[in-house]
């Protein structure tokens, strides 16, 4: 389910599709390592007795497992280090910069909230402080 990633900071999105349409989404970030963050999701899924509701990663691991068990599909997308601005120019994204990454994550969550799907980020509240999971 998880893409091959390095030990680099980054932003990711999970989307849950129920047959034909996206029904839920989550935007997250890894301050140090996407690889380590994805490994946390894997380990939470392997230990169902772990108190999954206490941490965001654990809670989402349970939600993703339940979605897959229900026959839904889960996709993972990554924000890479480059983007295209409105003028068509390629710009570098500074994902290693904590403030930049947190701002971008908040904007992406806000955009996700406007789609009408179930947003898994802390009750879909982009105004709440994010960055720690």
Q: What is the pLDDT of residues 109-132, one digit of tens each?
A: 999 999 989 998 875 654 444 444
In a domain, 43, yes or no: yes
Best CA proximity match to 64, nearest among 102, 112, 127, 15: 15
In a domain, 110, yes or no: yes
In a domain, 40, yes or no: yes
In a domain, 3, yes or no: no
Interval 54-73: pLDDT, tens: 677 778 888 888 898 999 99
- d(Cα 133, Cα 127) in Å, to the nearest integer? 16
In a domain, 33, yes or no: yes
In a domain, 4, yes or no: no
In a domain, 113, yes or no: yes
What confidence score (pLDDT) does residue 49 get? 55
In a domain, 125, yes or no: no
Residue 121 buriedness (CB in 10 A; 0-12 / 13-18 / 19+): buried
Mean pLDDT for the stretch of residues 27-54: 77
Domain of 39 in residue numbering reads as: 10-120
Q: How many Cβ atoms from other residues are within 10 Å of residue 32's Cβ?
A: 12
Interval 3-17: pLDDT, tens: 888 898 999 999 999
**What is the number of domains present in the chain?**
1
Q: Is the pLDDT score of 23 beyond 80? A: yes
């Amino acid at each position: 389910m998880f893409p091959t990633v390095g030990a680099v900071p980054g932003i990711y999105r999970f989307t849950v599709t129920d047959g034909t349409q996206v029904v839920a989404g989550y935007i997250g970030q890894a301050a140090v390592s996407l690889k380590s963050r994805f490994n946390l999701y894997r380990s939470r899924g392997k230990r169902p007795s772990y108190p999954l509701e206490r941490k965001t990663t654990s809670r989402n691991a349970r939600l993703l497992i339940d979605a897959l068990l229900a026959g839904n599909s889960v996709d993972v997308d990554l924000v890479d280090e480059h983007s295209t601005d409105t003028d068509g120019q390629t710009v570098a994204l500074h994902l290693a910069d904590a403030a930049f990454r947190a701002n971008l994550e908040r904007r992406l969550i806000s955009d996700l909230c406007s789609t009408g799907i179930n947003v898994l980020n802390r009750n879909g509240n982009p105004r709440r402080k994010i960055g720690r999971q």
